[in-house]
Amino acid sequence: MEFLWPEPVQRVQHLAESGLKCVPAQYVRPAADRPHLMIDASGAAHAARREGFQTQRLSSYEGTSLESIGVPVLDLADWMSGGERSMAFLRQLKRACEEWGFLQLINHGMSEAELDRVREAARGFFHLPIQEKQAYANDPVSYQGYGSRLGSTKGAILDWGDYFFLNILPVASRDMTKWPTNPHSWRSVMEDYCKKIAELSRKLLEALSISLDLTAASTLQEAFGEVDMGLRINFYPPCPQPELTLGLSSHSDPGGIALLLQDPKVGGLQVKPPSSLEWINVPVIPGALLVNIGDQVQILTNGRYKSVEHRVVTNNNCERLSLVCFINPGNNTVVSPLPELVPRNELPAYNAMTFKQYRSFIRRMGTNGKGHINSIASPTSLTPKSQA
Ligand SMILES: O=C(O)CCC(=O)C(=O)O
Ligand SMILES: [Fe+2]
């Protein structure tokens, strides 16, 4: 049986390649959601740090100290080295998860050359002829394959981007008919990359649990059950009017944690941490992996570690590619705040539900800032201010 999207699917890449000068109406965001971009002398649009302030080049941060960039940078070699260095790592991790929900991870064990091979295979698929790609078209039930929208609400405003999504774990959830055979290296490169990311995510979950002082009987790993892992490759073509659209509209990731490999040359990711009223550009640190907290970890930690709103802005001259691995609780795992993290005499801040039920929000309704998680905040709890 075929499951259909509510409207015929347009591939954004092919719209962009058709040379249109204006963005079609269904991609135009309401004024309040439009990115603040600045146009430089050559006519190229860049994301502005703040409206009216100087343009920050997204692709180059030479001469900028990492501290002044914003999103904290953590060195996994500190965690692996033990002793005082790993204690310092835990303190930085805790702070990053409480204040930013995002961190840039360096020395994670994968070389830049290796990451480039992953990006190259991923990009190769999007540059295949359209007919070849259409054979992998996804549907709104499994989501696996080549896609161009999130959510199946008729008439929704669409994002200026295409993607490729696959279930990776458990292995039984894979639909191998959706795994590209072209480029030839695609399957082996992605399989190998996902294996390494899964291994890295186990280290991160362990560090996260220790940073929360969780006891061995009640770790995040335990609470996740059998991990569900997904891979999403995002492809954002150049956009003729980037000031009207978003490559990916504001959302927090529904799952546990996400490990994101940015395009090494083209920025576009912006985050809005709880203490900020403005969107902050996330710089590209070549070779780093971005790690971010998803809604399930916010729920499990009773709001202590935050999933943070993020979005992607487009530009008018460069395509952008990113790869995200989502590490989630098992589909049928019931997720609710860990009792150890709920203050005595307080009710849990969130209602319990399975991850599968939770994920159906974004799959049905699309991105919605932090609306999905806020909708399951328990009304009787003292919801932390930052989620209001
Ligand atoms: O492309 C990016 O940098 C972000 C992608 C993202 O947030 C997602 O796929 O959930
Ligand atoms: Fe995301």
Q: For the segment 154-189, what is each residue's pLDDT rounded down to a tens digit? A: 999 999 999 999 999 999 999 999 999 999 999 999
Could you tell me if the CB of 162 is within 6 A of ligand 1? no
- Using the predicted structure, report yes or no on whether residue 153 has a pLDDT greater than 90: yes
Using the mean position of ligand 2's atoms as its centre, give its distance from the Cα of residue 131 in Å. 28
pLDDT-based confidence at 42, cuts 50/70/90?
low
In whole angstroms, what is the distance from residue 146 CA to residue 125 CA?
10
Which of 39, 221, 11, 284 minimizes the C-alpha distance to 133?
A: 11
Domains of the chain, first to last? 12-387 (2.60.120.330)
Give the mean pLDDT of 79-101.
96
Rg (CA), the chain: 20
In whole angstroms, what is the distance from residue 56 CA to residue 219 CA?
40
Entry pTM? 0.92
Give the mean pLDDT of 96-114.
97
Percent of the chain with pLDDT over 90: 81
- Matching residue, tokens 């969780």: 214
- Please give the ipTM for the structure prediction: 0.99
Could you tell me if the CB of 312 is within 6 A of ligand 1? yes
Atom 10 (ligand 1): residue with closest C-alpha? 253
Using the mean position of ligand 2's atoms as its centre, give its distance from the Cα of residue 218 in Å. 27
Long-range contacts of 214-221 (CB under 8 A, 24+ apart): 214/338, 214/340, 214/341, 215/340, 218/338, 218/339, 218/340, 220/256, 220/297, 220/300
Tell me the two tokens of residue 179: 């795994």
Condensed to tens digits (0 to 9), the pLDDT of residues 281-296 reads 999 998 999 999 999 9
pLDDT top residue among 294 and 37: 294
pLDDT top residue among 81 and 63: 81
Atom 1 (ligand 1): residue with closest C-alpha? 322
pLDDT-based confidence at 385, cuts 50/70/90?
very low
